[in-house]
Amino acid sequence: MTAATPDSFDLLEATVADVHAAMEAGEVTAEALVERYLDRIDRYDDDLNAVLTLNSSARERARDLDRRYEADGPVGPLHGVPTLVKDNHDTADMATTAGCAALADSRPPRDAFVVERLRDAGAVILGKTNLQELSFGVDTISSLGGETRNAYSRSHRPSGSSGGTAVAVAANLATLGTGSDTCSSVRSPPAFNACVGVRPTRGLVSRTGIVPLSLTQDTAGPITRTVGDAARMLDAMAGYDPADPVTARGADAVPDGGYVAHLDPDGLAGARVGVVRQFFGTRGEPDDGRESRTADAAAVTAIVDDAIAAFESAGAMVVDPVEVVDLGKLESARVLTYEWARDFARYLEEIGDATPYDSLAEVVETGAVAESIAARIEESGALDVDPAAVDGDPDYLRRLRRREELRDETLATMVEHDLDALLYPPSRVPPVEIPAHQPFEELNCELSAHTGLPSIAVPAGTTDGGLPVGVELLGRAFAEPRLFELASGFERVADPRSPPADTRPLE
């Protein structure tokens, strides 16, 4: 391979395919990529506060991959691609903190299953990103990392909890990134930062080695700038994990040729998509001093309506409206308060001596948790739940049964209308201005989270103030291939993404 010069490859908005073409042409090496992304992090992240930790092993990993490329070609489909992972994914070569200062020295002895899969595919783990502390909330504030700011407006929220990854990927601080989604976290942060996020079907991607919030809802997912790169990441991340038996459900679900084979620029032709108008418009009065969110919701609706028109222009049949579920039923299926302390304690037991704490209560009692998150934890009642009694709690079991009903009702609606996907905005309102908190009640995350059905969020446009807005597509169980067809078809006709103006190429 020809030695690369630092400026011989255009890094801005580079995809995995771009990176590999440049490597093949001798225009860049994995080591040069790492150095250039590190330079961008050094230049821009002081303003964004998206990257929490850099991996001191990244350069050596890249050099090793370059040597292997010279000898035998690429080691896998993500060869040499710099990737940031959310800092609730265990990494053997870095601490895993969930953004919590009390866990600053917690270094689990192994990689999370999805991190191991990414490394096996050839990815270079460049570092770890900030998140809403312990993943509890939708702002991206942590005691260890502070406040992350939107890539398109430093004065606005990026949403959360995977806001650090979404901002970093949007600002071209890495080629790829991971998030985890309990309710919104690989959908609203990408939507707020003009990125693509995928929440896979429950059972497609392992949860092993990811700091839990609610195991019946938690899943990891890709955060990328393009639909194609999201497909490439999911190809690497999906797979059966004996340590997480729920992945047996998806063991045979990955299609021949992978998800990349389902990228189709004409994917909307003949599709049937239902618009869930229940998920448009504001749901209540704000608590941040403004009189109303009505204008904000109207701006989102106008952008998503334009996206719907693009679907139709590309050959999709749009069924508008489609009523899916009673919103109160969604709320009555919430189980996070029951599961968090139980699942967190199990995680701490699994990592053993990596941390001195045995429970969520002990971590909170250190006083190290950011004030706004600590207050929310106290108000939630999660610390009042006896982890040992959860599995037999009648109300908890009723809520789990309600989820089964929600999934069946949602799938029945899709069958009755012969729909490939349901369409709605990930958030009813755009990013709010700091110091206001992003209103959880305006997010549309619960349908996918409670039913376990897959969804993909893609950029749809921007408000008059330049704030990104996304559109979400929810599909049937293990129908990720169809979602990638639809999303790639929309991406072609809409071409809605442009990089943030404040993170231009370095000189």
| CA 87/CA 72 separation, integer angstroms | 33
Cα-based distances in Å from 455 to 46, 97, 98, 163, 169: 32, 27, 24, 18, 19
Residue in the structure block whose two tokens are 């729920």: 246
Helices (H) and strands (E) in the chain, counts: 15, 13
Residues forming beta bridges with residue 94, ordered by sequence position = 91
What does the CA dihedral 320, 325, 326, 330 come to, rounded to 10 degrees? -130
Residue 185 is among the residues annotated as catalytic for this protein: yes
In this structure, the chain runs to a length of 507
- With CA atoms as reference, report the closest residue to 232 among 212, 253, 267, 260: 260
Q: Which of 135, 185, 206, 455 is catalytic?
A: 185
Write out the E strands in 188-294. 196-199, 219-224, 272-275
Q: What is the DSSP string of 301-344?
A: HHHHHHHHHHHHHTTPEEE-------HHHHHTT--HHHHHHHHH
Query: Per DSSP, what are the bridge partners of residue 281?
Result: none
86 is catalytic: yes
Active-site option among 143, 153, 159, 161: 161
Buried b (16+ CB within 10 A) or exposed e, 387-404: beebeeeeebeebeebbe
Q: What is the DSSP letter of 110?
A: S
Q: How far apart are the first and last CA of the chain?
A: 25
- For the four alpha carbons of 108, 113, 114 and 116, in that order, the dihedral sign comes to positive
Asked if 446 and 283 count as a contact pair (C-beta separation under 8 A), the reply is no
**CA–CA gap between residue 122 and residue 113 (Å, rounded):** 15
185 with 161: CB under 8 angstroms?
yes
Is there a catalytic annotation at residue 329? no
- Residue 444 and residue 428 in contact, taking contact as beta carbons nearer than 8 Å: yes
Q: Which of 26, 21, 10, 491 is nearest to 263 (CA)?
A: 491
Q: What single letter denotes the amino acid at residue 134?
A: L
In degrees and rounded to multiples of 5, residue 347 shows phi and psi of -60, -45
Q: Yes or no: say if 213 and 135 are a contact pair by the CB < 8 Å rule.
A: yes
Q: Tokens at residue 431, please?
A: 């990013």
CA 243 to chain CA centroid, Å, is 22
Nearest partner of 136 among 431, 443, 439, 377, judged by Cα: 377
Alpha helices in 212-318 (DSSP H): 227-237, 294-313
Distance from the Cα of residue 503 to its chain's centroid: 21
As annotated, the active-site residues are: 86, 161, 185
